[in-house]
């Protein structure tokens, strides 16, 4: 899985989807401190993600996933769940949120856990909706694909979407390697 992040990083730089990722990663000590605070062991895929970009914001993801904001993400998720008389499923760990109406979480216990999005159904329909994204690395690749397509469609980047997607699909195979 280490090779997955190394190759993804290089791919994003080579294609111009990122200008630099230098200095965006967290140290082992920072990650260990958060694990101790939450009394959990982060899955390998998430630990490596934090080592890659846990201190910054990647253009290719267009959302914050910073380690230092975990408390904020959790508070926001708790509020959203409470407002909708819901609870987080056992083993769920919140790792991001967006403007108080959704949050991402994964299930602890495996190296490349499934990721889910919890989102308000709509302004008129009460309740929450859950979207499953597959493994953490699959979610990451699909998030980048979505933003590549969106940015190309509005003229923000000039890439062949099909080619970029095919290369990203090839990278997913690396996630199965240790």
In three state form, how does the secondary structure of 121-162 look? CCCCCCCEEEEEEEEHHHHHHHHHHHHHHHHHHCCCCCCCHH
Q: Does domain 2-176 have CATH number 3.40.1580.10?
A: yes
Contact 22, 53 (CB under 8 A): no
Can you tell me the mean pLDDT for 70-81? 95
**Phi-psi category of residue 64: left, alpha or beta, with phi > 0 → left and psi -120 to 50 → alpha:** beta
pLDDT of 115: 97
Percentage of the chain exceeding pLDDT 90: 69
Can you tell me the mean pLDDT for 63-69? 88
- The larger pLDDT score, comparing residue 144 to residue 63, is at 144
Delimit the domains of the chain by residue range: 2-176
Rounded Cα gap, residues 21 and 158, in angstroms: 21
pLDDT of 144: 92
**8-37: per-residue pLDDT in tens?**
999 899 888 888 888 889 999 999 999 999
Rounded Cα gap, residues 144 and 140, in angstroms: 6
pLDDT above 90 for 62: no
pLDDT of 7: 93
Q: Is 104 helix (H, G, I), strand (E, B) or coil?
A: strand
Exposed, middle or buried: residue 20 (CB in 10 Å: 0-12, 13-18, 19+)?
Answer: exposed
118 Cβ contact partners less than 8 Å away, ≥ 6 residues apart: 77, 80, 81, 86, 88, 102, 103, 104, 105, 128, 129, 130
Confidence of residue 167 (pLDDT cuts 50, 70, 90): very high
Can you tell me the mean pLDDT for 52-59? 86
Can you tell me the mean pLDDT for 44-58? 92
Q: Is the pTM above the cut of 0.85?
A: yes
Helix (H) / strand (E) element for 22: namely none
Rounded Cα gap, residues 87 and 85, in angstroms: 7
**93-121: per-residue pLDDT in tens?**
999 998 878 999 999 999 999 999 999 98
Can you tell me the mean pLDDT for 51-57? 89
**Phi-psi category of residue 105: left, alpha or beta, with phi > 0 → left and psi -120 to 50 → alpha:** beta
């Amino acid at each position: 899985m280490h090779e997955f992040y190394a190759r993804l990083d290089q791919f994003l730089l080579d294609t111009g989807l990122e200008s630099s990722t230098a200095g965006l990663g967290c140290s082992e000590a920072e990650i260990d401190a958060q694990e101790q605070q939450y009394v959990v062991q982060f899955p390998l895929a998430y630990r490596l993600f934090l080592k890659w970009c846990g201190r910054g914001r990647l253009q290719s993801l267009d959302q914050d996933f910073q380690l230092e904001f975990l408390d904020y993400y959790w508070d926001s998720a708790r509020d959203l769940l409470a407002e909708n008389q819901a609870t987080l499923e056992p083993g769920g760990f919140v790792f991001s949120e967006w403007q108080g109406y959704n949050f991402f979480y994964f299930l602890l216990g495996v190296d490349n856990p499934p990721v889910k999005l919890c989102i308000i159904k709509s302004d008129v329909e009460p309740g929450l909706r859950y979207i499953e994204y597959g493994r953490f690395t699959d979610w990451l690749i699909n998030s980048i694909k979505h933003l590549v397509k969106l940015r190309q469609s509005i003229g923000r980047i000039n890439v062949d979407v099909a080619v970029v997607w095919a290369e990203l699909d090839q990278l997913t195979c690396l996630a199965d390697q240790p």
